[in-house]
Amino acid sequence: MAKYWAPFGRGARSCIGMEISLMEMYLALGRLFSPEVGFRLELHGTNYQRDVAMFHDYFSPFPKSDRGVRALVKG
């Protein structure tokens, strides 16, 4: 996977803020999904189970809808 995923570049010209940005992503996702914080995620614009059911599987599951899965974050 590391061969194809290089969002920060590689080698001598790689991003100097890579470790900090990865740490911030981990902290933000951990806080969003933590039960102690109190955020709730609700589906938005989705009326049926088939809108969020797995339809394609190209290494990652994708829904049938072209809009993707949308969620409201309520705090």
User: Binning pLDDT at 50, 70 and 90, where does residue 23 land?
Assistant: very high
d(CA 72, CA 32): 12
Contacts 24+ apart (CB under 8 A), 19-28: none
User: Binning pLDDT at 50, 70 and 90, where does residue 6 land?
Assistant: confident
Q: 8-20, pLDDT tens digit by residue? A: 888 788 888 888 9
Determine the average pLDDT of the residues in 33-44.
81
d(CA 75, CA 66): 27
Q: What is the pLDDT of residue 45?
A: 78
Q: 48-63, pLDDT tens digit by residue? A: 676 667 776 666 666 6
